Amino acid sequence: MSEAPEDKTPVNARIETAILELLGKAGPGKSISPEEVARAVEPEAWRRQLSHVRGTAVALAREGRLVILRHNKPADPDDFKGVWRMRLPEA
């Protein structure tokens, strides 16, 4: 699976839309989980979407459109492991 920003398969486009919509609804300074995004995209088989959510989130973070968080602190999108969340960048 490619994590390149130009990888706009229909699944990744749906995931990108879901991420940005959920972040917009969450509001400034609030974060969302990858599981929330996966469930929004495919409620019945959301676990299959988690790797796609991660790849899309990494691409968006590289573009500066979101921040990946570990322990509620910004993490390097190219080097993070474990439990993570996403939020919009601070203005």
The answer to whether residue 2 scores a pLDDT higher than 60 is: no
Instruction: Let me know: does 21 contact 78? Beta carbons within 8 Å.
Output: no
pLDDT over 60 at 1, yes or no: no
Q: How far is CA 42 from CA 19, 66, 88, in A?
A: 13, 22, 23
Say whether pLDDT at 4 is over 50: no
Residue of 65, 62, 76 whose CA lies nearest to 17? 65
6 pLDDT higher than 80: no
Query: pLDDT band at residue 8, thresholds of 50, 70 and 90?
Result: low
Specify whether the CB–CB gap between 34 and 84 falls below 8 A: yes
36-69 tens-digit pLDDT: 999 999 999 999 999 999 999 999 999 999 999 9
CATH classification (class only), 10-87 = mainly alpha
